[in-house]
């Protein structure tokens, strides 16, 4: 993986942690996330207009990914509603590299060596450390976060294969974000009988700005997986857990305990092993 790809994926990680923090800090998370998907869809229109049409072989992946993204969004809202940002975010993001590595090995023929296995063990250890809870009732938040991670892995693998078949990764990303903007808008319209554009101006700007962040963040990832193994890109992207821990501490008033920080470091270490050794 080239240094330019690594730098851009790290930028994507920072952007991703930032828009997730915006979502967590909102009172109406479904409304803000709906605005984010709408903002990303609007931002993606130039990619659709001026980009090449994706090949026919990639369209089933675009449609499947849009469905998976909707499931991811709904579980992300649940995870943030019942759990702390500095816990839910690392579990969701930290669980995806090992799932992507396994899925890419099975579905895309990407090899798993001893370094990959070591990275998986480290990531898993970090997740278990974050999820050590004393009662069954308290398992709801990490379970929702882990399910979110499973959706992340599913759409990452889907987009890795689809973008490689599309002939134009940016056009693929453009169509994906345009289609992805529709389901949440319909869900919100069904629940509230209106779109969330009538919320406060600040919330509207936060939502649309977060959508631009998500477009840039995941657009970079889709481009990167056409140049490097999916498992490596996914793993490197999950360095965002450190950005998330710092954001939660600095801006959301969450405690950055030694255990949480240590777990985040272990997850990042595992992700780095997955990304740098393949």
- Which token pair is 111? 């090899």
* pLDDT value of position 56: 96
83 pLDDT more than 90: no
Contacts of 179 (CB under 8 A, 6+ apart): 62, 63, 66
CA separation for the pair 150, 101 (Å, rounded): 12
Task: State the CB neighbour count (10 A cutoff) for residue 20.
Answer: 26
Q: Return the HEC string of the chain.
A: CCHHHHHHHHHHHHHHHHHHHHHHCCCCHHHHHHHHHHHHHHHHHHHHHHCCCCCHHHHHHHHHHHHHHHHHHHHHHHHHHHCCHHHHHHHHHHHHHHHHHHHHHHHCCCCCCHHHHHHHHHHHHHHHHHCCCCCCHHHHHHHHHHHHHHHHHHHHHHHHHHHHHHCCHHHHHHHHHHHHHHHHHHHHHHHHCCCHHHCCHHHHHHHHHHHHHHHHHHHHHHHHCCCCCHHHHHHHHCCHHHHHHHHHHHHCCCCCCHHHHHHHHHHHHHHHHHHHCC
- The arithmetic mean of pLDDT across residues 132-141, rounded, is 62
Instruction: Report pTM.
Output: 0.85
pLDDT in the model for residue 275: 65
- The rounded mean pLDDT for the chain is 83
Q: Give the pLDDT of residue 3.
A: 75
pLDDT band at 105 (very low <50, low <70, confident <90, very high): confident
- State the pLDDT confidence band at 19, using cuts at 50, 70 and 90: confident
Does the pLDDT of residue 132 top 60, yes or no? no
Q: Measured between alpha carbons, how far is 154 from 56 in angstroms, rounded to an integer?
A: 21
**In the chain, pLDDT over 90 holds for what percent of residues?**
30
Of 119-133, 135-149, 190-204, which has the strongest mean pLDDT? Answer: 135-149
Residue-wise pLDDT tens digits, 25-50: 667 778 888 888 999 999 999 999 99
Structure confidence at residue 208 (pLDDT): 81
The whole-number pLDDT of residue 273 equals: 80
Q: Angle at the Cα of 208 (from 18 to 141), degrees rounded to 5?
A: 50
pLDDT of residue 42: 92
Query: Of the ranges 25-29, 175-179, 247-251, 273-277, which is most confident?
Result: 175-179
Q: Which pLDDT belongs to residue 186?
A: 92
Long-range contact pairs involving 247-256 (C-beta distance under 8 Å, separation at least 24): 247/17, 247/18, 247/21, 247/85, 248/21, 248/24, 248/84, 248/85, 248/86, 248/89, 249/86, 251/21, 251/25, 252/21, 252/24, 252/25, 252/85, 252/86, 254/84, 254/85, 254/86, 255/86, 256/86
**Best CA proximity match to 75, nearest among 49, 96, 47:** 96
pLDDT in tens, 159-217: 999 999 999 999 999 999 999 999 999 998 898 888 776 556 776 777 788 888 889 99
Cβ-contact 267, 123 below 8 angstroms: yes
Q: What is the reported pLDDT for 135?
A: 54
């Amino acid at each position: 993986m080239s240094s330019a790809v690594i730098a851009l994926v790290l930028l994507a990680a920072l952007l991703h942690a930032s828009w997730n923090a915006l979502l967590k800090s909102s009172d109406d998370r479904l409304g803000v996330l709906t605005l984010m998907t709408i903002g990303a869809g609007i931002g993606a229109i130039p990619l659709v207009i001026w980009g090449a049409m994706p090949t026919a072989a990639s369209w089933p992946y675009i449609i499947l990914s849009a469905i998976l993204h909707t499931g991811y969004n709904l579980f992300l809202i649940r995870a943030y509603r019942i759990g702390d940002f500095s816990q839910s975010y690392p579990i969701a993001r930290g669980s995806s590299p090992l799932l992507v590595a396994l899925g890419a090995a099975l579905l895309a023929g990407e090899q798993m060596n001893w370094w990959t296995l070591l990275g998986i063990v480290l990531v898993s250890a970090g997740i278990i450390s974050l999820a050590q809870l004393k009662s069954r009732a308290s398992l709801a938040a990490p379970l929702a976060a882990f399910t979110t991670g499973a959706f992340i892995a599913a759409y990452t693998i889907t987009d890795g294969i689809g973008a490689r078949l599309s002939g134009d990764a940016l056009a693929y990303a453009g169509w994906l974000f345009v289609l992805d903007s529709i389901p949440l808008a319909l869900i919100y319209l069904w629940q509230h009988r209106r779109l969330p554009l009538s919320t406060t101006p600040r919330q509207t700007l936060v939502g649309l700005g977060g959508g631009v962040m998500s477009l840039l963040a995941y657009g970079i990832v889709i481009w990167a997986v056409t140049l490097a193994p999916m498992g490596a890109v996914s793993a490197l992207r999950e360095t965002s857990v450190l950005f998330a821990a710092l954001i939660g501490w600095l801006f959301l008033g969450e405690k950055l305990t030694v255990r949480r920080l240590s777990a985040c470091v272990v997850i990042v270490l595992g992700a780095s092993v997955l990304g740098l050794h393949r």
